[in-house]
Amino acid sequence: MDALTPSQVTELFINLGLVKAKQAYYVTFFKAWMAGWMLCFGAMLVQLILSGSPGLKAENLALISLIAAFFFPVGLLMLVLTGQELLTAHLMFMPMSLLRGKVKA
């Protein structure tokens, strides 16, 4: 079975928190900043699709909503494929490492 047990997942998260704690602050800031821009790009693309075609929207709202739904994950895909990290990843892993004493505050 390939699944990890809860204790293995906890240890993995603690080790990830240790890796993220060793990362320079400017790298963390830049990655989070770029990830935010990529998510904003995906959201803006959806807004352009939804508001940029009033004729199609009046005739067939379901089709334009479906097309917008297909483009919704574009920003997230850009984020994952370029290796950027949202700040929320640090906020998930770092407290676990801090509570276990692997990272000093």
pTM of the predicted model as reported, rounded to 2 decimal places? 0.74
pLDDT tens per residue across span 9-62: 999 999 999 998 898 999 989 999 999 999 999 999 999 988 887 887 788 888
Give the DSSP letter of residue 8: H
Query: What b/e string do you get for 70-101 counting C-beta neighbours within 10 Å, with b at 16 or more?
Result: eeeebbeebbeeeebbbeebbeebbebbbeee
Phi, psi torsion values for 17, nearest 5 degrees: -65, -35
pLDDT on residue 81? 94
